[in-house]
Amino acid sequence: MTDPSLDDNPTACPHCASSRAGLLCVCPAGKSPVLVVEMSQTSSIGSTEFFASQERKKERNTSRESSLKDLSIRTSNVERKPQAQWSRSNVTVGKIPHIRMDDGADIEEFYTFGRILGQGSFGMVFEVIDKETGAKWAIKKVNKEKAGSSAMKLLEREVSILKTVKHQHIIHLEQVFESPQKMYLVMELCEDGELKEVMDQRGHFSENETRLIIQSLASAIAYLHNKDIVHRDLKLENIMVKSSFIDDNNEMNLNIKVTDFGLAVQKHGSRSEGMMQTTCGTPIYMAPEVINAHDYSQQCDIWSIGVIMYILLCGAPPFLANSEEKLYELIKKGELRFEDPVWDSVSDSAKNALKQLMKVDPAHRITAKELLDNQWLTGNTLSSARPTNVLEMMKEWKNNPESDEETNTDEETEQSTVHSPSANSAKQPTDAPKKPVADSVGMTSSNSSSKLLSTEIKAEPEKSSETVGHATVAKTTLKSTTLFRGKKRL
Ligand code: ADP
């Protein structure tokens, strides 16, 4: 399916910012409500913009205060506010400073650059120290030319969305510095790295540990959906761990942050206009309706939460196959299996939550708001989150016809879980060495900086061409890679 409007722009899709030349993405004009913002606009969307002129370079040796005064004097059409007043506490939502500079090197007047935290799709991420406050931050440094126009569109989209959000489990964007060549995103530092890495070290998490993570994730996604923002690429690699500690029950408590809003969209308009059709995301986390490129909406994020929860509990994705087609077949069938022995110690309540998160039909899938009241998530067995009106009851029955039986079992299980968190100690994460990982579709060992995949599929030659099926054993150490394209060939 080709979008005629793309002809207006020979280099990039106006709806999803994917390179048209690479034919990675074709989204129907007007149906994919992607927020595409020009660089000049990005700065003005909910931001405070400053401009540092060439002259400022001559003043590098002057005090920071006078430099900032200079900055604020040169500010055009923006609120005049010295940077010294900027702090997280007084920066309101939508007021993320966006500072224009002639020379990217000027940022070193404000921050001391330290160790490299990682290499992203767009550039390096560094740990930095604010010279004035001593606070540590993470800075993503992007070379605009190297990144290319498609990647820059994704980055601009990420920035414009991050400027509008404020939630304890969503990465905080402190400020943006921009020169003609470079862009620097100053973000809160997540010292413990990616959730994927933490999980790989432990094998998998216990049910209580998973519950804490999913509570935070559900809260962040409910917040986004309430603002009509759909993340579209939720996966373990896009969840960072700011800090963690082991509690009295020897369970890990993680403070997580949702990151990477490059594929996120802000829906606009009526319900039908708010539907999307671009196939994007990462195969193993991709919802059935996204694979089908049917109209889909925020419910695709809920499916991905289900995949994340499944992986956290057992260490392997719910669906794995040796080819893209087979993987997609499994996802579209959506038959969850709990056969690996690790599932024996997982409560029926958790399994039931998974089934609700991973309903193939998005209309029957639990919503983010409903998830917050889910009995397993709240750990509340006393106040049942039973629906109070007939419509909701019908929906619950449709979602889970066997819920009456399961609820009884769940309640028994939950009693011990809730009142005695350490009762789950039998489910402590394994430290078993991880097996080499199947190079299955959706999981790739490539550390490629590009997150945009072509439709090419890599099947491991020495493996049987048979579908691996519901992988319950393989522990993955590989990084799943984002797929972003238009209608797929099926
Ligand atoms: P990508 O473009 O692949 O999504 P990013 O550019 O967001 O990756 O980040 C690259 C790597 O840098 C991440 O894998 C992570 O290890 C590290 N990183 C990114 N953001 C932060 C942060 N706020 N705090 C700590 N490390 C980070």
Tokens linked to 199: 């999980």
* Chain centroid, CA 363 distance in Å: 22
Ligand 1 centroid to residue 187 C-alpha, Å: 10
CB of 255 closer than 8 Å to CB of 188: no
Sign of CA dihedral 164, 168, 170, 174: positive
Pairing of strands 265-266, 279-281: unpaired
The pLDDT of residue 396 is 57
CB of 193 closer than 8 Å to CB of 241: yes
* Residue in the structure block whose two tokens are 């216990």: 206
Count CA within 13 A, CB hemisphere, residue 280: 30
The pLDDT of residue 233 is 94
Q: Higher model confidence: residue 172 or residue 393?
A: 172
Distance CA 338, CA 442 (A): 21
Q: Does residue 247 carry a catalytic annotation?
A: no
CB of 235 closer than 8 Å to CB of 480: yes
Model confidence pLDDT, tens digit, residues 430-458:
333 333 333 445 443 333 333 333 222 23
Q: Whose CA is nearest to atom 27 of ligand 1?
A: 117
Q: Which atom, in ligand 1's list, is nearest to the CA of 189?
A: 24
Q: Whose CA is nearest to atom 12 of ligand 1?
A: 118
pTM flag (> 0.95): no
Model confidence pLDDT, tens digit, residues 181-210:
999 999 999 999 999 999 999 999 999 999
* Ligand 1 first shell, C-beta below 6 A: 117-122, 125, 138, 140, 171, 187-190, 193-194, 240, 259-260, 451
Residue type for 327, please?
L
Q: Whose CA is nearest to atom 16 of ligand 1?
A: 118
The pLDDT of residue 416 is 31
Q: What is the CA radius of gyration of the chain?
A: 23
The pLDDT of residue 249 is 92
Ligand 1 centroid to residue 256 C-alpha, Å: 13
Distance CA 39, CA 158 (A): 12
Angle subtended at Cα 374 by Cα 373 and Cα 379, rounded to the nearest 5 degrees: 95
The pLDDT of residue 332 is 94
User: How many C-beta atoms surround the C-beta of residue 211 within 10 A?
Assistant: 27
**Residue 483 β-bridge partners:** 281
